[in-house]
Every structure is written in C-alpha cells, then in structure tokens.
Amino acid sequence: MPMIETINLTKKYGELVALNNLNLAIEDGDCFGFIGPNGAGKTTTIKILATLLKPTWGEARIAGKVIGYQNPQIRPIIGYVPDFMGAYDDMVVSEYLEFFAACYNIHGKQRDQVVRDVLDLTDLSYKANSEVNGLSRGMSQRLSVARVLLHDPKVLLLDEPASGLDPRARIEIRELLKELRRMGKTIVISSHILHELAELCNTVGIIEQGELIFSGPVSEIMSRASMGTIVHIIVEDRAEQAAQLLAQVHGITQIDLTQHNGTLRIDVTIDPESGLMVSELPNRLIAQGFRLCSMQEEQVNLETAFMRLTKGLVS
C-alpha cells in the first residue's frame, strides 16, 4: 500500500478546475518532487494532503487513512511546511519550538530533549535565544522544518521550501532534506529549482493545468525526454546558409541562430527509422565547404525534460 495515494482527486473553485482527476501513488520512503508552473495545482494538492483543504470529489489517503474522514489520525503523522512561515512576535527560537511541542502534548523533560534534538538536526542550536522575527529567510525555513519535526512525522509536505533563498541557504536546506530522507521520511516537495530536485528526489510528478502529465522515477522521465537532443554548432562563417542546409535534414525539428557568434542551436528528434545520427551533422556541413569551430551536445537533465514535456499551461 502506498504511503500517499490520490484517486481521481479533483478540486474546483467555482468554474475554475485547480485539480482534475489527479492519481498519484508515493511509496514509503520516497522523496517525490512535484513540478509544474505557477497555478498548475501543486499547492492545492499539498494543502489537501495536509488536511487544510477539502477536495471537491475524489479521494486522498495517507498511510491508508482517508483525508477528510480520518484527519485526527492523519495529522500526527504528517508535517506541513508552507512557502512562508507565520511567526509570533517577541518569541525566541527555543520558545517557538517549545510552544509547538506543547501543542503536540510533548511536555517536561521530553519536550526539552525534543527541542534540543531538532535544533541540532537543523543546525539552529546557536540561534536558540534569537528572536524568530529577526531570522534570515534561510534560517526561518530551517526553523519551519524544525517545527514540523517535533512530533517525528512519517510524512513531510514541503511547498517551495527553497523559494527566495540565497545559494548558501538553498544548499543548507538541500542537505537537511537529504538527511531527513536518510532517516526514512516520506517527502513531497514542490520546487521550481529543478536541478536540486534531481539531486534530492527518486520520483517526480509533472502537473500542468491541474492534470498530471507524468509520474514516476527520475530515470524514466529522463529516458522519455531523451528521445530528442539539442546540439550547439558554431561555424566560422555563412551561419545562415548552414542553418538552411541542416533545416532540410529529416529529423531536425528546429534551428535557432545566434547572430553575434554564428551558433546554431539544433533540435534533433532521435528516430531509429530516420537513421539520423548526431555525429553526421558536422560531416554534412564540411562536405558543403563549411568550417566548424565547435560542436557540443546538450545533456538532458530534469530542466530540459520538463520543458520538453510541458507547454507552460495553468489552470
């Protein structure tokens, strides 16, 4: 049984369909990257999983328990980290965590120990006596993660946790999430920083206009996207004529020319029936008298896979 499962999950706001029959299955211990343009339905999905929104129809389950009917049993096993955390005035970091620990009925010496443990895990021990409102954006995000770890949830739901962070803070959050995955947490994380999701996640889902386009292992999405490739070729001169020549080759779907340095950006569809090999392109140009300065094949990564499989639609 999946740790997280949605069955025809649908959410409507009047006539606007934010989610349309979403079907997901996330296994225990997975780190699932949720990808899509703004307005695609990522936050709506995460808020439903966090028991903060009710679906219009369909069903969502966590650890076999149905959201909307068994929320009191679900909430102790989940931790939800929103894009921006709410803070209480005049609280220091340790008081903030003690307050939420008390909300989870953690008291006395156990509370003191739990607060110390999450401060150590999130590398915030040296900020224990700092005011929450004075923390940087990166430290605020780490404190938000520390808060949801107080009750040791099985499932973490993180909505754009790296949004607005500087490069150092993003690295720190990424390393923290890697450690939480090693601890066996099931993690759902939405993000626009796709190369970092590729490092963190073993499975991904792409959502567009409220509909799931793809869900599965990262290796599978790379394989699907690599049915095409992008080649950058720089010719010494007559770049426009080189582009016209290659445009006639079966299997080349698009050529963009950078005028200032004569770079050709070539989209090639890998079709076994056409027999086109990327290595043949320079030979075709050389045979027609063109002189090449360089040729480089662009590597397929999560960003290029996302761009190839989506159209940028929103709900």
Give the DSSP letter string of 44-67: HHHHHHTTSS--SEEEEEETTEET
Q: Please give the average per-residue pLDDT across 100-128, as a whole number.
A: 94
* Residue-averaged pLDDT of the chain: 85
| Percent of the chain surpassing pLDDT 90 | 45
Evaluate whether residue 272 is within a structural domain.
Answer: yes
Cβ atoms < 10 Å from Cβ of 56: 13
Contact 143, 122 (CB under 8 A): yes
Evaluate whether residue 315 is within a structural domain.
Answer: no
Rounded CA-CA distance 287/246 in Å is 12
- Which H helix or E strand runs over 20? strand 16-26
Helix (H, G, I), strand (E, B) or coil at 8: strand
Inform me whether the pLDDT recorded for 313 exceeds 70. Answer: no
Rounded CA-CA distance 263/293 in Å is 10
pLDDT at 52: 95
Rounded CA-CA distance 71/74 in Å is 5
Dump pLDDT digits (tens) for 209-262. 889 988 888 777 666 655 567 788 888 888 888 888 888 887 777 788 776 667
197 HSE (CA, 13 A, CB side): 32
Residue 108 belongs to domain spanning: 4-223
Dump pLDDT digits (tens) for 141-180. 899 999 999 999 999 999 988 877 788 888 888 899 999 9
Same domain, 112 and 84: yes
Inform me whether the pLDDT recorded for 77 exceeds 90. Answer: yes
How many domains in the chain? 2
Evaluate whether residue 311 is within a structural domain.
Answer: no
Which residues are within 8 A (CB) of 214 and not within 5 positions of it... i.e. 6 or more apart? 204, 205, 206, 221, 224, 309
The length of the chain in residues reads 315
Same domain, 112 and 159: yes
pLDDT confidence band for 87 (50 / 70 / 90): low
Tokens, residue 40: 């695609």
Q: Which CATH number does the domain housing residue 273 bear?
A: 3.30.70.100
- Which H helix or E strand runs over 263? strand 263-269
pLDDT at 225: 56
Q: Pick from 223, 255, 274: which residue ends a domain?
A: 223
Helix (H, G, I), strand (E, B) or coil at 297: strand
| Percent of the chain surpassing pLDDT 70 | 85
Lowest mean pLDDT among 19-28, 146-155, 177-186, 205-214: 205-214
pLDDT at 44: 94
Same domain, 210 and 63: yes
